[in-house]
Amino acid sequence: MRANVVRGMLAAMLLIGAAGHAGAEGNEVFIIRVADAISPGTAEFIHHGIKTAEKLPAACIVIELDTPGGLAESMRKIVQDILASSVPVVVYVAPAGARAASAGVMITMAADIAAMAPGTNIGAAHPVGAGGQEIGGTMSEKVVNDMVAQAKSVAEHRGRNPQWVERAIRESVSATETEALKENVIDLIAQDTDDLIRQINGRTLAGKGSLRLDAPRKTVLEEDLRAKILKAISSPNIAYILLMLGIAGLYFEFSHPGAVFPGVVGGICLVLAFFALQTLPVNYAGIMLIVLAILFFIMEMKVASYGLLSVAGIICLLLGSLMLFEGESPESRLAWGVLAPTLILVSGFFTAVAFLVFRSQVSAPMTGSAGLVGEIGVVKKALAPRGKVFVHGELWNAVAATAIAENVPVRVVKVTGLLLEVEPAEESRPA
């Protein structure tokens, strides 16, 4: 009987401890602040935050959103992470004056709970190309229809207004927080994060249970150095420029060993470029064509192709640059305003360096003993047959087949060690 009582007490203590532990974990709110364009760095930051919250597990994740839009590929990754999250995700458009435009609309639609602060707006989700250019023709129709289909699917999955989302994409309509609430685009309006937590406390979410947020512990996730660097360089245009600078720097270092600085800068740029390319939709055929272009430029330094290898290298560089990024959305591709000048400058640089190196290899030596042959000097000590001549700024021992008096111009015909063999210069020979 006594043993049964002891076992019962121990079991009760374990249950109380487990409940207390679960309550501590389940009472934590993770806050992720996004106040920038949506990029691969942003997608990586949110992905890391969701995975961290799932490991605890936290009670919920609040994404405080203020964005003008961004890359469609990155937006899709964020939407996928939110929909797949086992922890409830709340997207809160805040603070006052913030917006969830373009890609921000889709991220808000994907949330378990969508909220906005007073003085905010959402909408204007019509897709545009890199740099904000309008997409024309069949491509525009294709991109818009694809985005509308995804947006309506996500909105219906979350029980929100699919018709409004379609108009936001096709017609670039936008709404204030009160209009969005009336149109069933969002679930609530909250003054601040504390007000948001009070309003969602006790709310039941399909498949995720009820939120228990009494006296929650708020944890703000900060971007680490990796996320900050990735956010800064993960645009296709910047990644391409870094790649070209890196290749050009290493190419110059290999063709002029000992320069050091171009090689160091090129190496850093190349590492940053590869770091950015890992998050972008890269076509490896484009990478191979760029590598082939570099090989052609290197061969131009070794082979007298009369410019044919340089032309082949420029063509491969152009094709490789056009094929480098394969994303479906226009903003995930290179902008012509970046591609054209970068390609012209880099191709001109490669061609100029290859030409200079080739010319230096085939030109006559200008220094050393080989550079003395053919030089004109003056006899400083009569050659009979030995004496001294002044040539190339130096005084040399010299020998001649015939006697030559002082101050007579001579030409160097051969160099043997430190002895010059000379003959009278043409202008000093007797008629």
**Contact status, residue 58 vs residue 22, Cβ threshold 8 Å:** no
Structure tokens of 278?
A: 């890992």
Scanning the structure block, which residue is given the tokens 């990754």? Answer: 77
**Residues 142, 218, 228, 302: which is the catalytic one?**
142
Concerning whether 321 is annotated as a catalytic residue, the answer is no
Concerning whether 369 is annotated as a catalytic residue, the answer is no
Structure tokens of 385?
A: 């047959």
Sign of CA dihedral 400, 402, 403, 407: negative
Q: How far apart are CA 372 and CA 128, in angstroms?
A: 66
Sign of CA dihedral 246, 251, 256, 257: positive
Scanning the structure block, which residue is given the tokens 């290898």? Answer: 309
**Residues 39, 74, 102, 347: which is the catalytic one?**
102
Residues with catalytic roles: 102, 142
